[in-house]
Chains A and B, each alone.
Chain A
């Protein structure tokens, strides 16, 4: 029974991916593109050579962290839509430390990442406190906090950190996550050390949830607040804590951009979208640490591969957006996948 459930948990995303690719292919066919050529180009763009692999992994890092943020809150029964905002403040905090602090790399990098985590935690804790104290729904407040984060970070950059090109100055080399070594072995992609930070974060997320008393409390509150209260668990405290920890992951996701990919922060005209992709990644990964890593790999891969698909096969990147949307659609209504698998199973027996 338990085994079977685990199998299904694993199969649903897999079947969803296949269905998404299949229907995406049909749409290409109807739109007069060659789906085979497109998918070959797509997959080459993901794993066809060291450069593409490097780009895919680089794209994964913030997605993993954003996915972990959503998944962590979700385990406590909270829906953190505010990962985007927490990511932006984390990005700014890491760049601030990267630009204005002088320290050797061994201190500077952790300090900048820590700053990003703290900023994200504070930004996440505000909706947590509002929920615990005044029962304001976190979905509303986190969405609002996203806008506050977007315009506040822009304004702070304009007022205090502006450099030519509508952005901040570049961070000092001692705070940078970029790695000439990683770039060299990946044919000069933009790969940086951020992936290590992201993978460590995934292990930490798993450890907190499943191996600590804190995780026990958070999960208990997520499943049943009444029973948790009865058992003497402080539900309000756990709600705030869960949002804060979720914010730490989101904030560090921001530092991936600030210390790794860009080395500065631009004035953003709109949201980066990474925070929202995190919701999909968490959904795809069934809110587990390993699932989030795999989900981020898929998402990162498709996004990077789409570029190659456009240049080689002439298929617009938007079609990959359609495929991604289809995959999320099928995971979300896993009922269809269950039904389909039952049909296949029964058919096999007869």
Chain B
């Protein structure tokens, strides 16, 4: 059997750790091959070895049966290996065509020949069903289309083997469906795909075979049709994983958060939240389902005091928190796990310890008359690090050095520990592996069971359906429906999220 890519017994060491230990990966021509593993298992290292960014200490790489020494991404390109990065490498101010040809510009008498380049881009996008506008500026197009530009970049360079690095992490459910179709189209046109992911559902849906790595070691390769999410998860984590979130029945009590006729303008002065009403009670988790861009971010910013409210009111218990400062709202009893942990959740250059007191540094015992008290600060930090299992060398390590899952755990530790009445969790598990997701979900439910009100915003329908006690569907700045997660389906939610009316589910 000839493989289009064969990596044999790869070993890659970094000072102090073995990132890849005897990993073998064999990809057949025309298949979608999943590379599955937890955060930090060594997936990216392995792909960087394949892409020529790292040189392995041991092992051999064969491309189409020929042994290659690959120590430069340019060699990888010439071998027909292309990578679609998770964080897009695009120039915002350039057009789609300019981005695609960047570094390999066709020229005509010394000038860049944009016309024929655009034609070629159009031809490629037609061939593979990648809808793009060659003349649109990247800053003006959707995330889904930006990803298609990334794919076209590799195809334009003649890639035969495409590596997708967690491609669905940034996409909406609709865009994911589209991407899956594109991937199927690509293999039907003779390309081969390596899909790096930790989302089991996607593997089951599109992949032919799956190679699992755990803590740097190759665990094995399985045929996807012979496996199921449970067996894959067990291979990845090394133990049984609980998918259905274990939780008792909610026992909602009095109202904690009351939002009345809320209107919030976005940065272009257009109402993003437009007459929204919502009520969250103590002891329940309300999940907001909706396609990204329907006012979720603006709603959260309005509640937390980061954005001005033009009309309406928000009450937290009996206090009016409409247009109060963030600190004021926080002190009234709000904890907030923000959507973007790097932008809002952490000061990455601060130590883990300093980040743990980011909301409380001005209070006793962490400071006294404006003078910081470091021993209580680091005592607290160490306690939280142990309690929430934040994996860090110590509390003095910069937050930047932690993995995404541990950064998130640090934020959750900080917010939950303050023990407020109301907790906002915005996309709390984005980009995290099943182990971390399990932990975070259990913490949210623990808060609920302690009688707190929890607001969950997520673009993952599974998460919304599994964790929430009540689902509020947000569409064009309003809550258009409130449904019971036990009595709804993904189809119905999808329809409501797209602005459809409730129909079939009500009749049942």
Chain A interface (Cβ < 8 Å from any Cβ of B)? 2, 210-216, 219-220, 223-224, 226-234
Contact = CB atoms under 8 A, between A and B. Distances in A.
Contacts of A224: 343, 346-349
Interface of B: 304, 306, 325-328, 330, 336, 338, 343-350, 354, 358-359, 361-362, 367, 370-372, 396-397
Contacts of B371: 211-213
B350 A219 contact: yes
Most buried by B among A214, A219, A229, A231: A231
Contacts of A226: 343-344
Contacts of B338: 230
A232 B348 contact: no
A213 B344 contact: no
17 contacts: A211-B371, A212-B367, A213-B362, A216-B361, A219-B350, A220-B358, A223-B348, A223-B350, A224-B343, A224-B347, A226-B343, A227-B358, A229-B306, A229-B344, A232-B325, A233-B327, A234-B325
Contacts of B330: 232
B350 A220 contact: yes
- Closest CB pairs A-B (n = 6): A232-B327, A230-B344, A232-B326, A223-B349, A231-B358, A224-B347
Contacts of B349: 223-224
Given A213-B370, A223-B348, A230-B304, 7 more contacts: A2-B396, A2-B397, A210-B372, A211-B371, A213-B367, A220-B347, A224-B347
Nearest to B377: A216
Contacts of B348: 223-224
Contacts of B343: 224, 226-227
Given A219-B350, A220-B358, A213 B372 contact: yes
A227 B345 contact: yes
Contacts of A211: 371-372
Contacts of B361: 213, 216
A212 B370 contact: yes
Contacts of B350: 219-220, 223
Nearest to B343: A226
Contacts of B336: 230
Contacts of B344: 226-227, 229-230
A227 B347 contact: yes
A42 B306 CA distance: 57
A232 B321 CA distance: 14
Contacts of B304: 230
A215 B354 CA distance: 12
B27 to A, nearest CB: 36
Nearest to A208: B370
Nearest to B325: A232
B259 to A, nearest CB: 20
Nearest to B368: A213
Contact of A231 (B359, B367, B370, B397): B359
A230 B370 contact: no
A213 B345 CA distance: 19
A327 to B, nearest CB: 26
B356 to A, nearest CB: 12
Contacts of A212: 367, 370-372
Most buried by A among B306, B347, B359, B372: B347
A215 B327 CA distance: 18
Nearest to A233: B327
Given A212-B371, A227-B344, A232 B359 contact: yes
A6 to B, nearest CB: 12
A235 to B, nearest CB: 10
Contacts of A216: 354, 361, 372
A229 B306 CA distance: 7
A234 B362 CA distance: 13
A227 B346 contact: yes
Contacts of A213: 361-362, 367, 370-372
B324 to A, nearest CB: 10
Contact of A230 (B306, B362, B367): B306
Most buried by B among A210, A223, A234: A223
A231 B372 contact: no
Nearest to B393: A1
Nearest to B304: A230
A228 B346 CA distance: 9
Contacts of A232: 325-328, 330, 359
A230 B335 CA distance: 11
A223 B347 contact: yes
A229 B307 CA distance: 11
Most buried by A among B336, B344, B396: B344
A229 B370 contact: no
B372 A229 contact: no
A192 B47 CA distance: 64
Contacts of A2: 396-397
Contacts of B367: 212-213
A211 B361 CA distance: 11
Nearest to B401: A1
Nearest to B400: A223
A229 B345 CA distance: 10
A345 to B, nearest CB: 13
A139 B192 CA distance: 52
A211 B306 CA distance: 28
Contacts of B326: 229-232
A222 B430 CA distance: 27
A57 to B, nearest CB: 31
A188 B396 CA distance: 49
A31 B397 CA distance: 50
Nearest to B330: A232
A103 to B, nearest CB: 31
A229 B328 CA distance: 12
A224 B342 CA distance: 9
A310 to B, nearest CB: 44
A216 to B, nearest CB: 5
Contacts of B306: 229-230
